[in-house]
Chains A and B, each alone.
Chain A
Amino acid sequence: MKKQHPPKLAQLILARMIEPGVRDAAMGDFEEQYIKQSERCGRFTADCYYLKEIAGGIWSRSWSFYQGRSNMLRNYAITSLRNLKRSHIYTSINLCSLAIAITWAILVFCYVRTEINFDQFHEKGERLALVTALYQHDGYSAYFQSQAPLGPAIVNESLDFDGYARLINEEKTLKYDKNLFNISILGTDPDFFEMFTFPLKWGSSENFEKHLYVMYLSHSMSGKIYGDENPIGRQLSLKIGAEFVVFNVAGVFEPLPGGSSIQFDCVVAANHFIGDNENNWSHVRVPLCLHIADDQPVESVYKHFEETAAPYLKSLNIGKYTQYKSQSLQSYHLNNQYHFSSLEAPSSKTPSLVLALIAVLVLIIAAINYINLSMGCTFYRFKEVGVRKVMGAERQQIIRQFLVETFLLVVGAIGMGLLLAQLALPIFNQLTQRDIISLPLSEPLLWILFTILILFLVGLSGGYPAWRLSKVEPVQLFNRQASFTGKQNFSRSLMVFQFAISIFLICSTLVILRQHQYMLKDHFGANLNQVIEIDISKGGNTGKTGGGRSLAFKGKLNQIKGIEALAYTKYKIAYTMANIIKDVRGQNSMICSNQVESSFFKTMDIQFIKGGLSELGVNERAVFITERLKKDFVEGDALYRPLQEVLKDTNFCALPIYGIIPAMNLQYMRYGQVAQYLEVTPHSDFSTLYVRINANQIGPVLSQIREVFQSIYPDIQFDYQFLDDIAASSYEEEVRWSRIVKISAIVALFIACSGLFGLTLLTLIRRRKELSVRRVLGAGFIEIQHVISRDFLIILLISNALAWPTAYLVMKRWLEDYSHRISLSWWLFPAASAIAIAIALITILLQTLRAIQINPIENLRDE
């Protein structure tokens, strides 16, 4: 066994405490004892014992051995505790604000850590290469995935790679007894088990290669169906195409580690999904991950991937303008080039950076609080420091006393912060959509950061007041009119900074909230909450030839009374087809299209800007374009001309344009309104049904629809979504961010105000004589409040001057990412300040109210 040594830092501390004469020998003894202990009862006990030695050293009275340092430390600690207890209001304000700031910082640390560690748990790590095809032509670029045969072909012919896994993720219906589940299925290849680190709890991966109809369940899925039982050998049926196919359960995975891009409920062979496309080189929809052979240098393989893959491009009709690229799975989450349809949505570095920045700002506010309050508190400690100085205390000793006090407070705050963070973890997880299971207490970086934090806070918050106070001559300290009680410019400038940060965060919150509301409200048709979307694509036999079931479904629904209108569409309105053509300015732009039934306009409550359905005969086909398309692509009049001619591109259909409609899409508005046209057609291979329900009968009608659905489609689960939910979910990211910024603004304001609370209290006590005289002379509550808040108001006004320009610049930059954005109205800034000032004034008001209840005579009689 390797010899264990005591922790380096502990050794250093202990050595510093021991008298130099015996230091070497004693340290040797300590180490010998440590080794003995760790052999006998394990490392932890030995560590504890070692720490006990240090604690014993601090608390012991052996002057000769411990250089007398121990007594000193002990006295400092006792005095500090007494001081902290005596000024318990300030202590608790400081402790709370610091603890909250630290809680926030710890949570942010957890978040950043999961982001960085995303997909890092795979042992093969950077040898896992995701393949994308980049199509670049004429200033337009797009990413595709790869073809089904590419993986096997490359592994066969190139020495660089020795394994492949196609990762096809689809929603499918799983049947167990009579229960139907909608689950996400990963279709993949046998190398999957070799390449990725997803260990099996039960079963072995061998069967995957041998048998076609086997499935591997995720831990949670197995738990959902079978509980704690071992399900190996059980049978489940999976709907593939129109049929249910029986699979044997061959294994169950261990729970997936948090932070994985690959998510699934169940794993089966890719063949089930690829089917006819197995040798199809023109179908570019298959996500592919390759394993770089262990004897190949990783970097050069990535670099030369283009050459390796080039031969396979010839067979591709887009080959001329396309390059294959590969990136490692590990870098996918933060540095994605392309969102793989079967992987979790990638993130970026921005959220981590923004969160870290906010955490640092909040910490700074808390640190400023401490400085301000301890500066204020020093007023009470003039006498103490004066007496100490007169008794011969050196400056160093007084500084040390202050440092020990701060140290104790900061350590206490860190302890509280850890506790709070643990409690707030579930809420934070919900907020950021991550699943952080526990605080990473074993992470050394966290403790290093804590140490830095302690040094920073102790240095800044304890150091400055200590230095200030110890500098003053003792005689001045006894004199109440010492210059120290005067202007306190330093405190004030810190407070300016503090409120500037708060106001900045409030401004940002207001802007983000408004932008978010603007996007959600202004660009969708009205009454989305009455329309539901029903996906029937899983029903199998859609299409005009066999579309019996979909027609029957529609026919039966038409008899239900509460339904106002319904229409089939070819694609879900959030996922339309896209084409790229040149617009009127000669730039490449995107046009989306969809095929709908003519009742679609009534269902979605779309009002025509020009033209309309009136001239359209039954079963006649026509095209309706959005305003945006008209504006961007059409010169002159568009109505009643064929689309082909209007767009000057023969790839489009020749149907005439019968009307112009307002912007209509549920796609991500971040990129602006998309030019779109709707082709009205009576027949198509429709996949989705939209139903507008009478607002008063939504509940009963829904259950009727469910009944009809189940009678016609007994093999699929009835699934519907309200359109406003779909709209909201496409803004999930924005909603989440506005919520996070809102919370941090509240935290910042709370901490700043708790600082203000403390400072007001101090001012009231310092000026109690003055205020009492004023009151005796007839000043009322309002005058007193005025006198007290005047100083603070000036501070708040100055901080506005700092916060407004910063907020303006930062928010302008933020809004630039949105093509549809609000303009930054001027009143947002005063509004933010008004919020801050109102809360600050209330804080002061509460204090003043309490102060004026004391009889002024009491204060004047004092001394």
Chain B
Amino acid sequence: MKLLSRIEEIILVSIWRLGDNAYGMPIRDEVIQATGKDWLLGAIYGPLGRLHKNGYIDPIKGEPTAERGGRAKVFYTLTPIGMKALEEIQRVNSYLWQNIPDFSTNGSHS
């Protein structure tokens, strides 16, 4: 499989978690929640563009709303490739993390 970068991974998971409401702003909020770091919107759109280019996600144009200065939202949904990639990520992560003790309570791993 093709490996995604860390931020691409996080965004992909966020889009899946958000379901119907996955557009720029909430995605960024999810990323901020997950990482605890302040992300600029522009920094989200870069990886989003790459994910789209590689066929993991599909944009769907929404209705224009007044609070956005009359601009339409663009919602993202996972394509089958995206879904597959998500499963892959989960599999890789859970494989990597199995049998590793919980270091927050146990102290350092020796």
Contact = CB atoms under 8 A, between A and B. Distances in A.
20 contacts: A3-B67, A18-B45, A21-B49, A22-B59, A22-B74, A24-B72, A25-B71, A26-B42, A28-B69, A28-B73, A29-B73, A31-B71, A32-B67, A32-B68, A52-B40, A62-B45, A62-B46, A64-B49, A65-B45, A65-B48
A422 interface: no
Interface stretch (A53-61, A156-164, A784-792): A53-61
Given A25-B23, A29-B25, A32-B25, A56 B43 contact: yes
A667 B31 CA distance: 80
Interface of B: 23-25, 28, 40-43, 45-50, 53, 59, 61, 65, 67-69, 71-74
A56 B46 contact: no
Contacts of A28: 24, 65, 68-69, 71-73
Interface string A36-62: 000000000000000011001100101
Contacts of B73: 25, 28-29
Given A29-B25, A64-B46, A64-B53, A53 B41 contact: yes
Contact of A29 (B41, B46, B49): B41
Interface of A: 3, 5, 18-19, 21-22, 24-33, 35, 52-53, 56-57, 60, 62-66
Contacts of B59: 22, 25
Contacts of B46: 60, 62-66
Contact of A62 (B25, B28, B43, B61): B43
Given A29-B23, A29-B24, A29-B25, A22 B69 contact: no
A35 B49 CA distance: 25
Given A27-B71, A31-B67, 7 more contacts: A22-B59, A26-B41, A26-B45, A29-B24, A33-B41, A60-B46, A65-B48
Contacts of A29: 23-25, 28, 41, 68, 73
Main SS of the interface on chain A? helix
Contacts of B71: 24-25, 27-28, 31
Given A5-B69, A32-B67, A25 B43 contact: no
B42 A62 contact: yes
B58 to A, nearest CB: 13
Given A22-B74, A32-B67, A60 B43 contact: yes
Q: Counting chain A CB atoms within 10 Å of each CB, which of B23, B50, B65, B68 scores highest?
A: B68
A22 B74 CA distance: 8
A57 B71 CA distance: 21
Nearest to A17: B42
B64 to A, nearest CB: 8
Q: Counting chain B CB atoms within 10 Å of each CB, which of A19, A22, A29 scores highest?
A: A29
Which 8 A-B pairs give the minimum distances between C-beta atoms?
A: A62-B46, A28-B71, A29-B24, A25-B74, A28-B68, A64-B49, A65-B45, A65-B46
A25 B72 contact: yes
A30 B28 CA distance: 11
B24 A25 contact: yes
A213 B54 CA distance: 88
A53 B45 contact: no
A29 B24 CA distance: 6
B25 A65 contact: no
B48 to A, nearest CB: 8
Contacts of B28: 29
A184 to B, nearest CB: 56
A65 B69 contact: no
B67 A33 contact: no
B25 A33 contact: yes
Contacts of A25: 23-24, 59, 61, 71-74
A62 B41 CA distance: 12
Contacts of B47: 62
A5 B66 CA distance: 11
Contact of A53 (B40, B67, B72): B40
A65 B52 CA distance: 11
A60 B42 CA distance: 9
A24 B72 CA distance: 7
A57 B28 CA distance: 16
Contact of B45 (A22, A24, A33): A22
Nearest to B47: A62
Contact of A31 (B40, B45, B50, B68): B68
B16 to A, nearest CB: 19
Contacts of B45: 18, 22, 26, 62, 65
Given A27-B71, A32-B67, A53-B40, A64 B50 contact: yes
Contacts of A56: 40, 42-43
